[in-house]
Amino acid sequence: MLQAFYTKPEPDLRVAAFCELNRARLARLTEFYVTEQVIDFRRAQFVTSAPDIHHLPEDSGMEIAFAGRSNAGKSSALNTLTDHRGLAHTSKRPGRTQLINVFRLTDDKRLIDLPGYGFAKVPLEMKLQWQEKLAQYLEERRCLKGLVVLMDIRHPLKDLDHNMIRWGVAAGMPVLVLLTKADKLKQAEKQKTLRTVKAALAELEGEIVVQLFSSLKGTGREPALKVLTEWFDRHDGEALIEE
């Protein structure tokens, strides 16, 4: 009798399609998070040297930028991290990186060597041009997802360094601070400087990691690569969720 008043509803194809889409998305996310993500930094390749952001590759994927004073050892650090001695040009004259240098890890992952700031013995007009390029890249490059700030452990947290870190935190970006040339100090001095810098940056309340680093000895290479890999993995996971 009740069957006379009951009509089986027609299946809603939109709901079925939505469920199927989310099952597929869940499967991709599960595969992503249960599979160890490996990035071979040794496969880094030089792509281009750009005078400004208009000459950079397409603003997509993910970039991690390396910034620091002109004598902080950015190029040496990049060579150490990628285990590629000649990848980034080094010079005994600080401030030779005058362009935005791009290094490709994969089709959608890049490392960026930004012009050094603060020390280079160049005309004031050129310094102002470098600062303008740097600010333009930091403010307008949407694929920039992480910032590595390099500081000579013997001269940490100069005003420009502090400003760079503050900018990264204000932009909601993770920041890795590498105290370079750690081989120049004794163990006790290194640890004291490390504690001092961590304490000074704790007030910023951002996602900041501070590590010791030496290109000469290879100190800190693996811990730094672990942080960079985590950043890339996080971006990949967020991209899957947004699909």
Strand partners, 63: 110, 144
Q: Write down the pLDDT at residue 11.
A: 57
Vertex 143: Cα angle to 215 and 33 (nearest 5): 80
Sheet holding 144-152, edge to edge: 45-50, 100-106, 109-113, 62-68, 144-152, 175-180, 208-212
139-194 confidence digits (pLDDT tens): 999 999 999 999 999 999 999 999 999 999 999 999 999 999 999 999 999 999 99
Q: How many CA atoms lie within 13 A of 52 on its CB side?
A: 8
Residue type, 58: E
Q: Write down the pLDDT at residue 137.
A: 94
**Considering the chain, what percentage of its residues have pLDDT values greater than 90?**
64
Q: Write down the pLDDT at residue 134.
A: 86
Q: Cα separation of 101 and 134, whole Å?
A: 12
Q: Write down the pLDDT at residue 204.
A: 93
**Would you say residue 12 lies in a domain?**
no
- Do residues 22 and 15 lie in contact, with contact meaning Cβ atoms separated by under 8 Å? no
Q: Write down the pLDDT at residue 16.
A: 55
Q: Cα separation of 33 and 68, whole Å?
A: 33
Q: Cα separation of 102 and 127, whole Å?
A: 21
Q: Write down the pLDDT at residue 124.
A: 75
- Residue 218: which region, alpha, beta or left (left: phi > 0; alpha: psi -120 to 50)? left
Domain residue limits at 78: 40-231
The CATH number assigned to the domain holding 63 equals: 3.40.50.300
**Would you say residue 241 lies in a domain?**
no
Q: Write down the pLDDT at residue 117.
A: 84
- pTM, two decimals, is 0.81
**Would you say residue 192 lies in a domain?**
yes
Q: Cα separation of 224 and 124, whole Å?
A: 34
- For 29-63, give the secondary structure using H, E and C: HHHHHHCCCCCCHHHCEEEEEECCHHHCCCCCCEE
- Decide if pLDDT at 135 tops 70: yes
The residue among 67 and 90 whose pLDDT is bigger is 67
**Would you say residue 25 lies in a domain?**
no
**Would you say residue 14 lies in a domain?**
no
The confidence band for 236, taking pLDDT boundaries of 50, 70 and 90, is confident
Residue recorded with tokens 């060579």 = 79
Q: Write down the pLDDT at residue 33.
A: 46
**Would you say residue 130 lies in a domain?**
yes
User: What's the mean pLDDT in 68-93?
Assistant: 85
86-125 confidence digits (pLDDT tens): 888 765 555 555 789 999 999 999 999 998 887 656 677 7
**Would you say residue 16 lies in a domain?**
no
Please state the domain count of the chain: 1
How is residue 73 written in tokens?
């050892």
Q: Cα separation of 240 and 78, whole Å?
A: 29
197-211 confidence digits (pLDDT tens): 999 999 998 999 999
Helix residue ranges, H only, the chain: 13-34, 74-81, 124-140, 159-170, 187-202, 221-242
**Considering the chain, what percentage of its residues have pLDDT values greater than 70?**
77
- Decide if pLDDT at 216 tops 70: yes
On average, the pLDDT of the chain sits at 85
Vertex 175: Cα angle to 235 and 156 (nearest 5): 160
Residue type, 140: E
Helix residue ranges, H only, 180-220: 187-202
Q: Write down the pLDDT at residue 127.
A: 76
**Would you say residue 88 lies in a domain?**
yes
